[in-house]
Amino acid sequence: MSAIDQKIADAARLAGRDAGDITRIVVTKFHPASLVRELAELGVRDVGESRHQEAGPKAAELADLDLRWHFIGQLQSKKARQVREYAQVLHSLDRDSVVDALGRSAADAPPVEVFLQVDLDPEADAAAEAGEAGRGGAAPSRVASLAERILGTPGLDLVGVMAVAPLGAEPRPAFARLRAVSEGLRELAPSATAISAGMSGDYADAILEGATHLRIGTAITGNRPSRG
Ligand SMILES: *Cc1c(COP(=O)(O)O)cnc(C)c1O
Protein backbone atom coordinates (compact mmCIF):
# COMPACT_ATOMS: atom_id res chain seq x y z
CA MET A 1 0.00 0.00 0.00
CA SER A 2 2.83 2.41 0.73
CA ALA A 3 4.05 1.74 -2.82
CA ILE A 4 0.69 2.87 -4.21
CA ASP A 5 0.61 5.88 -1.95
CA GLN A 6 4.05 6.81 -3.24
CA LYS A 7 2.82 6.53 -6.82
CA ILE A 8 -0.21 8.64 -5.98
CA ALA A 9 2.09 11.27 -4.48
CA ASP A 10 4.29 11.17 -7.60
CA ALA A 11 1.28 11.56 -9.91
CA ALA A 12 0.00 14.45 -7.81
CA ARG A 13 3.36 16.20 -8.01
CA LEU A 14 3.39 15.71 -11.79
CA ALA A 15 -0.07 17.29 -11.95
CA GLY A 16 1.06 20.17 -9.75
CA ARG A 17 -1.37 19.09 -7.06
CA ASP A 18 -1.20 18.51 -3.33
CA ALA A 19 -1.48 14.77 -2.55
CA GLY A 20 -3.21 15.80 0.66
CA ASP A 21 -6.24 16.79 -1.42
CA ILE A 22 -6.63 13.24 -2.70
CA THR A 23 -8.51 10.55 -0.78
CA ARG A 24 -7.46 6.98 -1.49
CA ILE A 25 -10.34 4.57 -0.97
CA VAL A 26 -9.37 0.91 -0.75
CA VAL A 27 -11.93 -1.21 -2.60
CA THR A 28 -12.39 -4.43 -0.62
CA LYS A 29 -15.24 -6.10 -2.52
CA PHE A 30 -15.10 -9.93 -2.54
CA HIS A 31 -12.51 -9.87 0.26
CA PRO A 32 -13.41 -11.06 3.75
CA ALA A 33 -13.96 -8.75 6.67
CA SER A 34 -10.66 -9.99 8.12
CA LEU A 35 -8.79 -8.29 5.28
CA VAL A 36 -10.58 -5.03 5.97
CA ARG A 37 -9.55 -5.35 9.60
CA GLU A 38 -5.90 -5.83 8.59
CA LEU A 39 -6.11 -2.78 6.35
CA ALA A 40 -7.57 -0.76 9.21
CA GLU A 41 -4.61 -1.80 11.35
CA LEU A 42 -2.36 -0.36 8.64
CA GLY A 43 -4.21 2.93 8.92
CA VAL A 44 -6.81 2.60 6.17
CA ARG A 45 -9.97 4.49 7.01
CA ASP A 46 -11.82 4.78 3.68
CA VAL A 47 -13.08 1.50 2.25
CA GLY A 48 -15.20 0.86 -0.83
CA GLU A 49 -17.77 -1.85 -1.45
CA SER A 50 -20.04 -2.45 -4.42
CA ARG A 51 -22.62 -5.05 -3.40
CA HIS A 52 -25.11 -4.46 -0.61
CA GLN A 53 -25.54 -8.14 0.28
CA GLU A 54 -21.82 -8.32 0.94
CA ALA A 55 -21.16 -4.86 2.35
CA GLY A 56 -23.96 -4.85 4.94
CA PRO A 57 -22.72 -7.87 6.91
CA LYS A 58 -19.08 -6.74 6.63
CA ALA A 59 -19.86 -3.29 7.97
CA ALA A 60 -21.84 -4.86 10.81
CA GLU A 61 -18.98 -7.21 11.67
CA LEU A 62 -16.50 -4.33 11.70
CA ALA A 63 -18.67 -1.82 13.51
CA ASP A 64 -15.99 -1.49 16.23
CA LEU A 65 -13.58 0.10 13.72
CA ASP A 66 -13.49 3.76 12.77
CA LEU A 67 -14.09 3.22 9.05
CA ARG A 68 -15.78 5.32 6.41
CA TRP A 69 -17.78 3.06 4.10
CA HIS A 70 -18.06 4.21 0.50
CA PHE A 71 -20.73 2.46 -1.53
CA ILE A 72 -19.49 2.39 -5.14
CA GLY A 73 -21.76 -0.19 -6.80
CA GLN A 74 -25.05 0.24 -8.55
CA LEU A 75 -27.76 1.48 -6.19
CA GLN A 76 -31.28 0.12 -6.38
CA SER A 77 -34.17 2.10 -4.94
CA LYS A 78 -35.31 -0.90 -2.93
CA LYS A 79 -31.92 -1.25 -1.23
CA ALA A 80 -30.91 2.40 -1.00
CA ARG A 81 -32.33 2.93 2.48
CA GLN A 82 -30.48 -0.12 3.84
CA VAL A 83 -27.18 0.91 2.22
CA ARG A 84 -27.51 4.27 3.84
CA GLU A 85 -27.55 2.64 7.27
CA TYR A 86 -23.83 1.81 7.08
CA ALA A 87 -22.41 3.81 4.17
CA GLN A 88 -21.34 7.37 4.90
CA VAL A 89 -20.73 8.08 1.22
CA LEU A 90 -22.67 6.95 -1.86
CA HIS A 91 -20.71 7.24 -5.11
CA SER A 92 -23.28 5.94 -7.55
CA LEU A 93 -26.36 8.14 -7.50
CA ASP A 94 -27.46 8.09 -11.12
CA ARG A 95 -31.23 8.13 -11.32
CA ASP A 96 -34.27 9.96 -10.02
CA SER A 97 -35.87 6.87 -8.49
CA VAL A 98 -32.91 6.29 -6.16
CA VAL A 99 -32.78 9.96 -5.18
CA ASP A 100 -36.47 9.81 -4.31
CA ALA A 101 -36.06 6.57 -2.35
CA LEU A 102 -33.25 8.13 -0.32
CA GLY A 103 -35.39 11.21 0.24
CA ARG A 104 -38.18 9.10 1.71
CA SER A 105 -35.76 7.53 4.17
CA ALA A 106 -34.16 10.83 5.20
CA ALA A 107 -36.37 11.84 8.10
CA ASP A 108 -34.60 9.97 10.86
CA ALA A 109 -31.22 9.35 9.21
CA PRO A 110 -28.10 11.53 9.34
CA PRO A 111 -27.20 13.29 6.07
CA VAL A 112 -25.26 11.17 3.60
CA GLU A 113 -22.60 12.43 1.18
CA VAL A 114 -23.43 11.59 -2.41
CA PHE A 115 -21.62 11.65 -5.72
CA LEU A 116 -23.58 11.93 -8.93
CA GLN A 117 -22.38 9.13 -11.23
CA VAL A 118 -21.78 10.14 -14.84
CA ASP A 119 -21.72 7.79 -17.84
CA LEU A 120 -18.54 8.62 -19.77
CA ASP A 121 -19.39 6.48 -22.78
CA PRO A 122 -19.17 8.88 -25.75
CA GLU A 123 -22.55 7.53 -26.92
CA ALA A 124 -24.26 8.14 -23.57
CA ASP A 125 -26.13 11.30 -24.56
CA ALA A 126 -27.43 9.75 -27.77
CA ALA A 127 -28.53 6.64 -25.88
CA ALA A 128 -30.35 8.71 -23.27
CA GLU A 129 -32.02 10.70 -26.05
CA ALA A 130 -33.23 7.43 -27.55
CA GLY A 131 -34.63 6.38 -24.19
CA GLU A 132 -32.10 3.62 -23.62
CA ALA A 133 -30.93 2.96 -20.11
CA GLY A 134 -27.18 3.39 -19.70
CA ARG A 135 -25.06 0.77 -18.01
CA GLY A 136 -24.34 2.95 -15.03
CA GLY A 137 -24.25 6.66 -14.60
CA ALA A 138 -26.35 9.52 -15.88
CA ALA A 139 -25.70 10.79 -19.40
CA PRO A 140 -23.91 14.17 -19.26
CA SER A 141 -27.03 15.84 -20.70
CA ARG A 142 -29.00 14.58 -17.70
CA VAL A 143 -26.60 15.75 -15.00
CA ALA A 144 -28.13 19.19 -14.39
CA SER A 145 -31.66 17.92 -13.82
CA LEU A 146 -30.49 15.06 -11.61
CA ALA A 147 -28.35 17.49 -9.61
CA GLU A 148 -31.35 19.78 -9.09
CA ARG A 149 -33.33 16.83 -7.79
CA ILE A 150 -30.55 15.85 -5.37
CA LEU A 151 -30.20 19.44 -4.16
CA GLY A 152 -33.95 19.52 -3.54
CA THR A 153 -33.90 16.31 -1.50
CA PRO A 154 -33.38 16.60 2.24
CA GLY A 155 -30.63 14.49 3.79
CA LEU A 156 -28.43 14.33 0.68
CA ASP A 157 -25.20 16.29 0.62
CA LEU A 158 -24.05 16.49 -3.01
CA VAL A 159 -20.24 16.50 -2.93
CA GLY A 160 -19.35 15.95 -6.59
CA VAL A 161 -19.26 13.60 -9.58
CA MET A 162 -18.10 10.02 -10.01
CA ALA A 163 -17.30 7.91 -13.06
CA VAL A 164 -15.62 4.79 -14.35
CA ALA A 165 -13.54 5.11 -17.53
CA PRO A 166 -15.28 3.34 -20.44
CA LEU A 167 -13.86 -0.06 -21.38
CA GLY A 168 -11.56 -0.19 -24.34
CA ALA A 169 -10.95 3.54 -24.58
CA GLU A 170 -8.15 5.81 -23.43
CA PRO A 171 -9.01 6.87 -19.87
CA ARG A 172 -7.49 10.34 -19.94
CA PRO A 173 -9.89 11.95 -22.47
CA ALA A 174 -12.80 10.34 -20.61
CA PHE A 175 -11.61 11.84 -17.34
CA ALA A 176 -11.22 15.19 -19.10
CA ARG A 177 -14.92 14.97 -20.04
CA LEU A 178 -15.72 14.22 -16.41
CA ARG A 179 -13.80 17.28 -15.32
CA ALA A 180 -15.87 19.40 -17.74
CA VAL A 181 -19.06 17.91 -16.29
CA SER A 182 -17.75 18.71 -12.81
CA GLU A 183 -17.17 22.33 -13.81
CA GLY A 184 -20.72 22.56 -15.12
CA LEU A 185 -22.10 21.06 -11.93
CA ARG A 186 -20.29 23.63 -9.80
CA GLU A 187 -22.31 26.37 -11.42
CA LEU A 188 -25.39 24.78 -9.87
CA ALA A 189 -23.78 23.48 -6.71
CA PRO A 190 -20.61 25.43 -5.88
CA SER A 191 -19.65 23.12 -3.03
CA ALA A 192 -19.85 19.95 -5.17
CA THR A 193 -16.15 20.05 -6.00
CA ALA A 194 -15.16 16.40 -5.53
CA ILE A 195 -14.31 14.07 -8.42
CA SER A 196 -14.36 10.31 -7.73
CA ALA A 197 -12.39 8.72 -10.57
CA GLY A 198 -9.45 6.42 -11.03
CA MET A 199 -9.02 2.72 -10.31
CA SER A 200 -5.96 0.46 -10.18
CA GLY A 201 -5.20 0.81 -13.88
CA ASP A 202 -5.91 4.47 -14.47
CA TYR A 203 -5.54 6.49 -11.28
CA ALA A 204 -2.56 8.48 -12.57
CA ASP A 205 -4.66 9.74 -15.50
CA ALA A 206 -7.49 10.54 -13.12
CA ILE A 207 -5.18 12.57 -10.90
CA LEU A 208 -4.03 14.55 -13.94
CA GLU A 209 -7.68 15.41 -14.61
CA GLY A 210 -8.44 16.54 -11.10
CA ALA A 211 -9.66 13.41 -9.28
CA THR A 212 -10.05 13.96 -5.54
CA HIS A 213 -11.20 10.43 -4.64
CA LEU A 214 -9.48 7.33 -6.05
CA ARG A 215 -11.16 3.92 -5.77
CA ILE A 216 -8.33 1.40 -5.79
CA GLY A 217 -8.81 -2.33 -5.37
CA THR A 218 -6.47 -4.89 -6.90
CA ALA A 219 -3.37 -2.69 -6.96
CA ILE A 220 -3.53 -2.74 -3.16
CA THR A 221 -5.29 -5.99 -2.24
CA GLY A 222 -3.97 -8.19 -5.04
CA ASN A 223 -6.42 -10.21 -7.10
CA ARG A 224 -9.91 -10.53 -5.75
CA PRO A 225 -11.03 -13.99 -4.64
CA SER A 226 -13.54 -15.26 -7.21
CA ARG A 227 -17.10 -14.76 -6.10
CA GLY A 228 -18.02 -17.60 -3.79
C1 LIG B 1 -14.11 -2.74 -8.30
C2 LIG B 1 -14.23 -1.28 -8.51
C3 LIG B 1 -13.11 -0.43 -8.37
C4 LIG B 1 -11.72 -0.93 -8.08
O5 LIG B 1 -11.21 -1.58 -9.20
P6 LIG B 1 -9.66 -2.06 -9.29
O7 LIG B 1 -9.41 -2.18 -10.72
O8 LIG B 1 -9.57 -3.34 -8.55
O9 LIG B 1 -8.84 -0.99 -8.66
C10 LIG B 1 -13.32 0.93 -8.52
N11 LIG B 1 -14.54 1.44 -8.81
C12 LIG B 1 -15.62 0.66 -8.96
C13 LIG B 1 -16.93 1.28 -9.28
C14 LIG B 1 -15.50 -0.72 -8.82
O15 LIG B 1 -16.59 -1.49 -8.98
Predicted confidence (pLDDT) per residue in 141-162, tens digit:
999 999 999 999 999 999 999 9
User: How many residues belong to the chain?
Assistant: 228
Residues touching ligand 1 (Cβ under 6 Å) are: 27, 29, 50, 72, 164, 199-201, 215-219
Q: Which atom of ligand 1 is nearest to the CA of 92?
A: 13
Q: Centre a 10 Å sphere on the Cβ of residue 65 and count the other Cβ atoms it contains.
A: 16
Residue 130 CA to residue 152 CA, distance in Å, equals 27
| pLDDT tens digits, one per residue of 95-146 | 999 999 999 876 777 899 999 999 999 999 998 888 887 678 999 999 999 9
Residue 166 CA to residue 170 CA, distance in Å, equals 8
pTM: 0.96
Residue 190 CA to residue 197 CA, distance in Å, equals 19
Q: Which atom of ligand 1 is nearest to the CA of 224?
A: 8
- The answer for 210, left when phi > 0, alpha when psi is -120 to 50, beta otherwise, is left
Distance 108 CA to ligand 1 centre (A): 31
Q: Which atom of ligand 1 is nearest to the CA of 218?
A: 8
Distance 137 CA to ligand 1 centre (A): 15
